[in-house]
Structure 1
Amino acid sequence: MKIEWTVTSQSPMTLKSFLKTKRISKRLLAKVKFQGGRLEVNQELSRVRKQVSEGDLVSLSLPDEPANDHLEISDKKIVVLFEDEHFLLVDKPSNVPSVPSSLYRNHTMANRVKGYIEKKDYRHKTIHIVTRLDKDTSGVMIFAKHGLAHSYLDQLLKGKELYKEYVAFVNGKLEKRWDLIDRPIGRMEDSIIKRQVVETGKPSKTEYWVKKRYRDSTLVKIQLHTGRTHQIRVHFSDIGHALLGDTLYNPGSAEKWIDRQALHCAKVVFDHPFTGKELSVESPLPDDLKRLSNQLESVSSEKKS
């Protein structure tokens, strides 16, 4: 894959300095040099010490990325929400892990995307997972199709420039139509899975807006300002409004209309680092959450009548 830029700086600089402005790391440059890539200025092979000036065309040819033989291939189909030569955004169903583990070795989203890439016979076969979702959370997942694309989105995530919007159904009626939950989250001492709000935890911020109130529950839109494990589930449980169906953080409260936490990543928005245009991708509400909404609406209507 070849990436091209036109130098716009009026002051001459080394090629190395120019590539730094494009956030090209030393690690990636080493791969280009030693693993079959190519660096050119005006279609001529060049070294990083070369001087470049306004109007020069800089080309970076990325080396092919081989598949990870330890990651099994799954033939399960994926739903593609957006794809170009740099990114693959897919619609993750509930009850599917994002990555393999000792319990789930195959048919995770990583396995399924590998199967998709192998079937398409893309040159870059390494799986780059940019955003993950809990096993029982549905919605948009982002995969990068090469290392540079992955690096760019990692930087957007760290700079909080990648917007992720969730929807959730929570227990009880939230009184505030908007709030920012600002409570630190850390690991629960007696569990390797659960997290909790604790003073010694990492800063964690969850913003929400009430979309609809039912008889005994609320539909909320959520924006994460940090990315802690189980952040949404922990924060809403801590304020007394655990997610419907979330038996981990609301044990003993099994929801008769849904068998998983009612949480869905509905939208992601970011500035495409290669086109400069805003990319907005949405995932429709899955069938089980639609049924849940209809049941909650029906119960609310019965009470009014």
Structure 2
Amino acid sequence: MKCWVPAQFTGAWEKYAETYCFIKGSYFLPDDEHPNEDFIERDNAVIGYYQWVPLMLALQAFLFYAPCLIWKALNCSTGINVKDVLENTAKVKKNVTVKERENQVFKAAVHLQEALELQRELKSEAGVYSKMRKSGFYLSSVYVFTKFLYVLNIIVQFCIFSAFLGTNNAFWGWDIFTDIWSGREWNVTGHFPRVTMCDFTVRVLGALHRWTVQCVLMINMFTEKIYVFLWFWFILVGVLSVISLLYWVVALVGGNFQRGFVMKYLRCMGEVSDEPTRTEEEKVGGFVRNYLTSDGVFLLRLIQAARGWELGEICATQIDSSDWGFGMLLERAKVVTSHVAFSK
């Protein structure tokens, strides 16, 4: 901050005025208006956000990371190491030989199998929370809850914007953008002003002297661009977060969607016919309910999303390359637990 001070100010006085005004804050006064004689009203109009921009940006960045921390903390108590499963399946494509790919898929399948079996074995464990963790839908519920936290975070971010910048207009980012586009500068709109006024008092020989100086806020040139960009970015992130939340709710709550997801891969593997019979549908439904559960389907969807496995690619390549790994993962789970689900 640099201020235009009276001629009688020495260098020390000028530095004091600039430091004081930066800490206390300043207020915007349009060129065609005169200062209000009411100093209390001036103080109420003080712009005090520019001093805290770095700290506020750090806080907002942490809020974006907070749902991830919550997910990691809750995931540790599920008994399923999601990271390990995804890392093992990620190694499938890196291995050249069929034997190496088979070993990696076997590791991922074994971990998934053991984790799901552990959930079933500990269902009788005492405690409401413990039973919920072993219910077969705890992991998927935690993931959906994390998705909800990301949506909630966006709402909180916009509330922080409004409170921090002192505006009640939720569409301030769009308004500033349209003002810039139409050529209306900050000296007319008052958005992120570059030139402000500052009042301060100095005690000289026991008497208080009030001074009003004009200051330049160079930092607001960058602050405006940063916050307008963040406003549009948060809008995009918010829309994508809502879409992602709705997708996972439908994918993990709807039993038909879970069965259909598994069915299409079993169909390509030749385990069910192209036009599944009622018996086959019941068997697959039992497989999903009794073995995979919602958590198992959730893990398979994560593997599909992480590896980019698509049904068309599987059919086109006859379950080859990296897609072959996904098919083997389902095959491993199906064969090991056929006496649990398919026999019913």
* TM-score, normalised by the number of residues in structure 1: 0.26
More helix per residue: 2
* TM-score, normalised by the number of residues in structure 2: 0.24
Higher gyration radius (CA): 2
